[in-house]
Structure 1
Amino acid sequence: MAFQIINSIISWFLKKRKHQIELFLKYPIDVQNELLIKLLNTAKNTEFGKGNNFSTIKNHDDFTSNVPIQKYETFEPLIERCRKGEQNLFWPSEIKWFAKSSGTTNAKSKFIPVSDDALEYCHMKAGKDMLCNYINNNTNTQLFTGKGLRLGGSSEVYQDNGSHFGDLSAIIIENMPFWADFSSAPSQEVALMSDWETKMDAIIDETINENITSLAGVPSWMLVLLNRVLERTGKENILEVWPNLEVYFHGGVNFNPYREQYKKIIPKAAFKYYEIYNASEGFFAIQDRNNSKELLLMLDYGIFYEFIPMDEYAGESSTAIPLSKVKKGVNYAIIITTNAGLWRYLIGDTVKFTSLDPYRIKITGRTKHHINVFGEELIIENAEEALRLACEKTAATIKDYTVGPVFMEGKEKGGHEWIIEFNKKPDSMGYFSEILDNALKSINSDYEAKRYLNLTLMAPKIHLAKEDLFYSWLKKKKKLGGQHKVPRLSNSREFVEELLNL
């Protein structure tokens, strides 16, 4: 009875936010324009604000004229000064938290500033909105009669020069409201463990006899955990362990390669999957409808958005457009200006708009993670849709993959080299390869043109990866855990060569 009352109270509290969401749905451009001016006024007396004439900026045109587009490397000197204790450099309130992010490929760590404003009005607000959307769409939910199992990354918080840095998940756990901590598992002590292997066992120990009603985490790592739960318990599926499980909130990587595997281990027709789009730099979008593959762009989290059409992309020299000028179906790189003091910051992600009223998006990949060695413009969205079709026709399921180029040598033509680790292999790799190749041709006209009569590109070369190859590769690099990802596409052979050597 007590859990039912708690469920009702928390559900009522979260539902109230729906009216505020409706405001930015109705007036999206007004909300964004007002936000830009508010951010500029807030930071006009910072070192960055004075240096870029914030006090004179009245609109988006002024903003683009005065403030250059930034990559992390450009902004890093200011961040490093802030980490060493200097304040009022790019945001007026004290910044003591930094989210450590190595990205997908960079060996060098990035330290993303996380202000109290960003924590409260972006990351925490988004967590509540994620639940708010789900509860409003599923009025009979029993989510809070049990606990949510959260799976973060390597979550140790380190102290350095008076500032703190660690995975974003650690920073959020450290700053969680009491009710969120009460309704979550594992305990804070376990969630903050740094050794991934030890943490997995500790999570299972703590949660195996709990009433788990929801899951939250990156699909690849959550799947590892769930399979270990089945190994430990000897059960056939996860519902035999947690019968009241009703939703999985996921993000970080494309879910399509993992969808069928989740359906197999969570065999429940009414089970819900809700996608989120967040990063160390901010929380950007949330699935707001049941069974949807689109994400609602959240416009009142203290983040002002700009976009660069990818066919005009030139890094920091690009020309960016505001939200009011975007079009459906165009691949855009995202630029963000945030309430943590990131100004016109290139986060490296690409999206397409699927709707302009309201503004809904789907994630298409990364500005760096594509293959365009031969003019084929292959992006992650293309690769994953082609893999989905190949798996569908061959009854295969994929655990992980990466793709790199085969460069032209002498009279030898170029191509793409794939390393794929299957959970369930296709009966014929030749047939799988043929379907994959044909699917890429049908999806991407540039790829099709380069493949025509093998003029530029030869047929894809596919290696069957040994079991746990990618896991071993990440472990060797000390990158096990929720926020680390396998690079999918690269213009370099670096990752393919390292994996082949393993």
Structure 2
Amino acid sequence: MKKRIHDIDLFRKYPHEVQLELFQNLISTAKNTEWGRKYGYEDNLSVREFQERVPISTYEDLYPYIERVMKGEQNLLWPTKIEWFAKSSGTTNARSKYIPVSPESLEDCHYKGGKDMLSIYVNLYPETKLFTGKGLSIGGSHHPSELNAKVNCGDVSAVIMQNLPIWAEAIRTPPLKIALMDKWEEKIEKMVEVTVKENVTSMSGVPTWTYVLLKRILEVTGKSNILEIWPNLELFTHGAVAFGPYRQLFRDIIPSDQMNYLEVYNASEGFFGIQDQAGTEDEMLLMLDYGVYYEFIPMDQFEEENPKTLTLDQVELGKNYAIVISTNAGLWRYKIGDTVRFTSLSPYRIKISGRTKHFINAFGEEVIVENAEEAITNACDATGAIISNFTACPVYLESDKRGGHEWLIEFEKEPNDLKRFTQVLDEKLREVNSDYDAKRQNDIALQGPLVHAAPKGTFLNWLSHKGKLGGQNKVPRLSNTRDYLEEIMQVNGL
């Protein structure tokens, strides 16, 4: 672990050299693939030539290649044999994405990220007792592809778990046969049964589903908090959704100042960031030697037909960028759909600011997920509320009324004053987003937010209805249409 910290320090110190070397390795390795031959990778491309020749890709652009690989063809996007695909649930849309997972991306990206997470944690907390117990991980499931029984597809966490070495399986819980079950309700009950008997010192997973499991454990055992069951619990590694709105939920259920929280940025496409400082909250070191070459599109140019991408040495602090990646699994100049903001350029640290498709901009207000989560957290703090989930969308202008935003929020603990909660939510949004503030001036374009308190279980019912319980599935925080909110309300009879 100490040796790996030395390697991390190297890319902190020489980020551009590390990225350039990685880029050259990617191009060299893929030069004889069908994609590499199409775009002349054998010419030993420079970054500029690469950007000129190779188009920016969406999933739909790459899907004809991905489908052929799923059917059994090889050496199309990447030279090594690909038999695993991560089923992406970055959104709750009906269409699933199947992201190729090569042996290199599994070993040098996903596994490396997990090992680095431990290395960084031990470096931050050298007195840790983490390894005296087991790590609890909450994952999804996998299954053979409908296109080819020799190929397996599933949640990225399931792909990782299934391929873990034996020694890693020995220090985690629950056993694979339970961790990879596909029936979520049955899986939760089995996980409770098994894990309460273990000495769990760490947990990893999506905050939403981890909290559901912990609540069920307390219900079954009759205990008042998790430390009565796992007194040596000291770490929760979380990702997929912002932790801010969930922080108080976990403090209440794990009442200890010794409990540590570490954010990671991992997705079906790769492992990208790890919180490397104590107490920084959602600010992560961009991991530069994982077989991922980064480019960035300024969000004010995102909708352009051929937007100019920036390399790492060209980004600026505080601006929103859409991430474009080229990877050791054959994703080339691929838009993953996330937006980030740099908080430091030496070393490069980022905050996830939202999704390229998850925002509200019906009236020019340009509200992004980061704005919404900051405002929700503030409103909770001001009114003693704790939320479990939320979504928001526009209220469109009509001839007899102004437009606005409608919020559906499921509270674990109701605010002491919903009107005050709504007021603080609005005030914070105005503070952090000047476009929203301008549209709210004197209610000219936007009236104040409309907030509904949803009954408990509302969002779980909807996810269950969609067949998306567990794994990395999550509720879209913001939408520029009313589709999600109206469907959630309809499913729940609200």
**TM-score after normalising by structure 1:** 0.96
Partner of 1:38: 25
Instruction: Report how far residue 315 of structure 1 moved.
Output: 6.3
Instruction: Report how far residue 302 of structure 1 moved.
Output: 0.2
| Amino acid in the other structure paired with 2:144 | Y
Q: Deviations over 1:410-456 (max 9, x none)?
A: 24221101101111111222111111111111111000000111111
Q: Is the contact between residue 102 and residue 108 of structure 1 (CA under 8 Å) also seen in structure 2? A: no
Partner of 1:127: 114
Partner of 1:384: 373
Out of 355, 365, 374, which is 1:366 matched to? 355
Matches within 5 A, 1:147-186: 147-153=134-140, 155-160=141-146, 161=148, 162-186=150-174
Cα distance in 2 for residues equivalent to 1:167 and 1:220 = 16
Query: CA 1:103–1:315 in 2, change beyond 3 Å: closer, same or farther?
Result: farther
Q: What 5-or-longer segments of structure 2 have no aligned partner?
A: none
SS in 2 for 1:73: helix
Q: Is the contact between residue 70 and residue 145 of structure 2 (CA under 8 Å) also seen in structure 1? A: no
| Amino acid in the other structure paired with 2:207 | P
Q: CA RMSD in A?
A: 1.1
Q: Is the contact between residue 276 and residue 286 of structure 1 (CA under 8 Å) also seen in structure 2? A: yes
Partner of 1:428: 417
Q: Deviations over 1:227-247 (max 9, x none)?
A: 111111111110000000011
Instruction: Report how far residue 113 of structure 1 moved.
Output: 0.3
Matches within 5 A, 1:199-218: 199-218=187-206
Shifted more, 24-33 versus 97-106: the winner is: 97-106
Cα distance in 1 for residues equivalent to 2:152 and 2:273 = 27
SS in 2 for 1:321: coil
Task: Note if 1:442 corresponds to 2:428.
Answer: no
SS in 2 for 1:457: coil
| Amino acid in the other structure paired with 1:128 | K
Partner of 2:471: 482
Task: Note if 1:337 corresponds to 2:323.
Answer: no
Following TM superposition, the consecutive aligned residue runs of length 4 or more in structure 1 with deviations greater than 3 angstroms are: none
Partner of 1:285: 273
Partner of 1:8: none
Matches within 5 A, 1:206-285: 206-285=194-273
Q: What 5-or-longer segments of structure 1 have no aligned partner?
A: 1-13
Instruction: Report how far residue 106 of structure 1 moved.
Output: 1.9
SS in 2 for 1:464: strand
Cα distance in 2 for residues equivalent to 1:145 and 1:109 = 39
SS in 2 for 1:213: strand
**TM-score after normalising by structure 2:** 0.97
Cα distance in 2 for residues equivalent to 1:261 and 1:426 = 14
Task: Note if 1:69 corresponds to 2:56.
Answer: yes
Cα distance in 2 for residues equivalent to 1:280 and 1:233 = 34
Matches within 5 A, 1:399-438: 399-438=388-427
Q: Deviations over 1:248-273 (max 9, x none)?
A: 00001000010011111111112100
Cα distance in 1 for residues equivalent to 2:394 and 2:462 = 19
SS in 2 for 1:350: strand
Out of 412, 429, 445, which is 1:456 matched to? 445
Q: Is the contact between residue 157 and residue 171 of structure 1 (CA under 8 Å) also seen in structure 2? A: no
Q: Is the contact between residue 100 and residue 166 of structure 1 (CA under 8 Å) also seen in structure 2? A: yes
| Amino acid in the other structure paired with 2:447 | M
